[in-house]
Amino acid sequence: MTSKENSSENEDQIDLIELLLKRQAELNALLEITRAINSNVPSETLIEMLQMIMMSNLRIKKFRLLLQNIDEFHCVSNFGGELESFEDLQYIAAELAELKIPIPITDHPHPLINAYDFFIPVHHKDEALAFVLVGDFEADEKLVNNKIDYIQTLINVIVVAFENKKLFKERLHRERLQREVELASQVQNMLIPQKLPSNLVVDVEAIYRPHQSIGGDFFDFIQLNDDKFLWCVADVSGKGISAALIMANFQASLRALVSLDMSLTDLIERLNQVVFNNTKGDRFITLFIGVYNKITRTVNYINAGHNASLVIQNNSITPLKKGTTMIGVFDELPFVNEGEITIEAEAIIFNYTDGIIEFDGDEEQSLSEDDLMEFLSNNKDEDLKEIHHLLMEKIEDLRHQSEASDDITILSLKFH
């Protein structure tokens, strides 16, 4: 064998050794990235490791990694040259992001794109998750494809790690929100009266069905003394946790204020101040509040912008409309008119919130006030629980069993 052949063979062996060493370095780098991901290092650390691999191991001098967020691509890692503007990067994404395989782009007609050597996409099914732009790429022509495959593999691993971190954070947020909702629901259920009176003076029945786990409806029944009791039905604007918190505060204020033995007018004015101060006029509450005196058999009441409670007696139905505007809108109520009505034996007062009569603005699936009064007139001789059952059946049939779009609250009192 000639010295020339020996030299050529030695060079081939050296090239092979160098190639093996490079591949070993690449595998080691990939292993380090994987270990870092398993150790849940911050995303910033993964980016730093990626950039070090690109610069040191692969000898890349210009690099951009863009991740998709909704309909836009954001650059999360870059070095080499001046970073393009956000608009320019969106243009590049629009031109190339649909490509499914790595391609050389030095021949692309647009200078923004041909300033780079390769475009390397990362997809999940048909969705573009990320892409890489590589420029000033030093690689043996025979090894370019291996380098590109390696970069794509590395970016895939990192992008999947980012996606998993994102999904994990979203899951934690959902779980935390669910715990908050469950807690708020438990608190709200504690505030709703669990036991209502049934005695020689009055029978009371209620239905409370929040649209979600927690609602913005509220009712209460408070025995004031041996001769008087107070009840209230209310509805706060909005839904969810914020509405429930406003209602919880409202109930606490109501119970604190009624203990001061003030008039209904003073009570409603004080409640208005509490709600206005707490919400700064951004939320309001409609409510009906009544006080029954068993000695005089009279009900004094105030309707604050709420659905009129209905008195069923003497073969007629009387809406209780006197009162004021909804509370919490103004720092002072513009007017307050207190109503009074005498209650006959076996009379019923039916109190409710608008979830009973409204359904997503669909009149055909909504129960009108006239329909409600006709129903109550036809069923006034039934006991309260049966009236509620029949009414809910009627509403569900009218809505074709569709889920309620609002909280439903009914509070009925039958006086003896």
CATH architecture of 192-415: 4-Layer Sandwich (3.60)
Lowest-confidence region among 62-76, 78-92, 148-162, 377-391: 148-162
Q: Is the CB of residue 185 less than 8 Å from the CB of residue 214? A: yes
Collect all residues with Cβ–Cβ distance below 8 Å to 183 and sequence separation of at least 6. Answer: none
Higher-pLDDT residue of 365, 107: 107
Q: What is the DSSP letter of 57?
A: I
Measure the CA–CA gap between 221 and 208, rounded to whole angstroms: 14
H or E segment to which residue 136 belongs: strand 127-137
Quick check: pTM over 0.75?
Answer: no
Measure the CA–CA gap between 234 and 286, rounded to whole angstroms: 6
Measure the CA–CA gap between 285 and 333, rounded to whole angstroms: 13
For 227-247, write each residue's pLDDT tens digit. 999 999 999 887 667 777 788
Q: Is 225 exposed, middle or buried (0-12, 13-18, 19+ CB in 10 A)?
A: exposed
Measure the CA–CA gap between 153 and 172, rounded to whole angstroms: 29
Write down the pLDDT at residue 229: 96
What is the CATH T-level fold of the domain 3-170, as seen in this structure?
Beta-Lactamase (3.30.450)
State both tokens at 143: 């090894």
For 169-202, write each residue's pLDDT tens digit. 888 878 777 776 676 666 666 667 888 999 999 9
Percentage of residues in the chain with pLDDT exceeding 90? Answer: 44
Collect all residues with Cβ–Cβ distance below 8 Å to 127 and sequence separation of at least 6. Answer: 68
Write down the pLDDT at residue 14: 47
Write down the pLDDT at residue 385: 94
State both tokens at 171: 């899951």
Higher-pLDDT residue of 413, 170: 413
H or E segment to which residue 27 belongs: helix 3-38
Write down the pLDDT at residue 36: 78
Sole residue written with tokens 């509370």 = 327
Q: DSSP secondary structure string, 317-329?
A: EEEE--EESPBTS
Average pLDDT over residues 120-136: 85
Provide the pLDDT confidence category of residue 296 given band limits of 50, 70 and 90: very high
Measure the CA–CA gap between 119 and 100, rounded to whole angstroms: 10
Closest CA relative to residue 77, chosen from 121, 114, 45: 45
For 48-92, write each residue's pLDDT tens digit. 888 888 888 888 899 999 988 878 899 999 999 899 999 999 999
Buried b (16+ CB within 10 A) or exposed e, 314-330: eeebbebebbbbbbbbe
Provide the pLDDT confidence category of residue 270 given band limits of 50, 70 and 90: very high
Q: What is the mean pLDDT of the chain?
A: 84
For 311-337, write each residue's pLDDT tens digit. 999 889 999 999 999 999 999 999 999
Per-domain residue ranges for the chain?
3-170, 192-415
Q: Is the CB of residue 299 less than 8 Å from the CB of residue 291? A: yes
Q: Is the CB of residue 410 less than 8 Å from the CB of residue 356? A: yes
